[in-house]
């Protein structure tokens, strides 16, 4: 199992939440040399002590994967780093793991959202950046404990075309695929990234703002109309980046989730904001479209207001805590 064996690789997974743990587990079980890096010390301690504990398609599996905090990881020299941190942690984490990134190191970004390449470019050359999108899901129930079920796939594409980069990435596709991750090299990952961003850019913020699950939002009368407005803004900005989204198809794809198995689910942004009172990835979804729209001269008022409302909700969690020391009577005002 050396890194000259084209069937396996030396891989570091950065961000050992549900998704990072899934990929780490499956790649390790397929014979790759895998290390985890995570910023949450409780998670590092749990996995170091008891191994990664996974409820994996109904079976309990324990995998004693090596895991490091960012400060401990400096001696790792992976062929590829797979990024699975939250978008808002990406910059700081890449800064912390600079020692791992050499001139030959590839970085694979599988984060939801848009614009991550602008951050990664600060740490690696463009021809060593691989963009991807995945439909796999995963749940984390406690430090070192994940729940993995269902199916998924992964699409990869080099950020910048080039023979050496594509050769490596096609090897990586084989490695992922042989680990059961259903990987393909795509000629249009940017399209898939934008399409998935539309899903996140609609349901994540709407369910978080209105504190409901996907199916419940779908039962409100304006749901399809609001979703179409948001997707149209995404499409207008995507077109400026040479991605031609099929608005009707994307809207139909999103509205289909209202009555699918996923209808009972609360999106990850809801978990972050409403359940855990943590900052969201909004600046990498609707916020990114808003920023890009300003750059390209494309108006994106729905993305703008949704971003402003989500940030407002984030801030109000703290503001209400500050005020809760002073009980305020609920007064009726006819204004």
Residues at the site binding its own copies, with contacts judged by CB under 8 A: 17-19, 112, 137-141, 147, 199-200, 204, 206, 209-213, 216-217, 219-223, 225-226, 229, 262, 264-268, 271, 275, 301-302, 304-306, 308-309, 311-313, 315-316, 319-320, 323, 328, 330-335
Cα–Cα distances (Å) from 229 to 119, 217, 288, in that order, read: 28, 15, 16
Question: Residue with structure tokens 């075309």?
Answer: 161
Smallest distance from its own copies to CB 267, Å: 6
48 and 72 in contact (C-beta within 8 Å)? no
Nearer to its own copies (CB atom), residue 116 or residue 128: 116
Closer by beta carbon to its own copies, 158 or else 280: 280
**Could you tell me the smallest distance in angstroms from the CB atom of residue 170 to its own copies?**
27
- What is the nearest approach in angstroms of its own copies to the Cβ of residue 99? 28
d(CA 270, CA 67): 28
Nearest CB to its own copies, comparing residues 158 and 200: 200
The answer to whether 199 touches 268, Cβ cutoff 8 Å, is no
Nearest to 30 by CA among 57, 5, 48, 60: 5
Mark whether 196 is an active-site residue. Answer: yes
Task: Indicate the burial class of 31 (C-beta count within 10 angstroms; 0-12, 13-18, 19 or more).
Answer: middle
C-alpha distances out from residue 61 to 8, 56, 300, Å: 22, 6, 46
In whole angstroms, how close is the CB of 113 to its own copies at the nearest point? 11
Tell me if 257 sits within 8 A of 218, measured CB to CB: yes
Contact indicator for 114, 89 with CB cutoff of 8 Å = no
Active-site hit among 86, 190, 196, 313: 196
CB of 200 to its own copies, least distance (A): 7
C-beta of 125 vs 232, nearer to its own copies: 232
Phi, psi of 142 (to 5 degrees): -165, 165
Residues in the chain: 335
Tokens representing residue 106 in the block:
């590839």
Helix (H) or strand (E) holding 145: strand 145-148
The least CB distance from residue 307 to its own copies, in Å, is: 8
Measure CA of the first residue to CA of the last residue in the chain; give whole Å. Answer: 73
* Residues annotated as catalytic (active site), given as ranges: 196
């Amino acid at each position: 199992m050396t890194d000259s064996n084209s069937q396996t690789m030396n891989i570091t997974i950065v961000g050992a939440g549900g998704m990072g743990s899934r990929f780490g587990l499956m790649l390790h079980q397929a014979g790759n040399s895998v290390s985890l890096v995570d910023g949450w010390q409780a998670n590092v301690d749990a996995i170091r002590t008891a191994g990664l504990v996974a409820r994996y398609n109904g079976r309990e599996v324990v995998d004693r994967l090596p895991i490091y905090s960012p400060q401990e990881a400096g001696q790792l020299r992976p062929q590829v780093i797979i990024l699975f941190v939250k978008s808002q942690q990406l910059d700081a984490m890449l800064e912390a793991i600079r020692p791992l990134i050499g001139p030959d190191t590839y970085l694979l970004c599988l984060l939801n959202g848009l614009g991550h390449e602008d951050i990664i470019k600060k740490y690696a050359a463009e021809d060593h950046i691989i963009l991807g999108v995945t439909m796999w899901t995963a749940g984390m129930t406690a430090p070192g404990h994940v729940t993995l079920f269902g199916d998924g796939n992964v699409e990869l594409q080099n950020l910048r075309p080039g023979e050496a980069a594509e050769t490596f990435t096609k090897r990586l596709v084989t490695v992922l695929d042989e680990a059961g991750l259903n990987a393909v090299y795509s000629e249009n990952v940017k399209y898939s990234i934008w399409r998935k961003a539309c899903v996140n850019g609609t349901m994540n913020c709407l369910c978080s703002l209105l504190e409901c699950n996907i199916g419940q939002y779908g039962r409100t009368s304006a749901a399809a109309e609001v979703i179409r407005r948001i997707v149209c803004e995404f499409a207008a900005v995507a077109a400026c980046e040479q991605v031609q989204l099929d608005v009707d198809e994307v809207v139909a794809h999103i509205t289909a989730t209202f009555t699918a198995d996923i209808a009972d689910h609360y999106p990850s942004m809801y978990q972050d904001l409403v359940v855990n009172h943590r900052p969201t990835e909004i600046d990498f979804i609707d916020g990114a479209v808003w920023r890009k729209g300003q750059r390209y001269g494309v108006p994106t008022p729905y993305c703008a207001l949704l971003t402003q409302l989500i940030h407002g909700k984030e801030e109000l969690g703290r503001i209400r805590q500050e005020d809760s020391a002073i009980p305020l009577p609920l007064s009726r005002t006819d204004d």
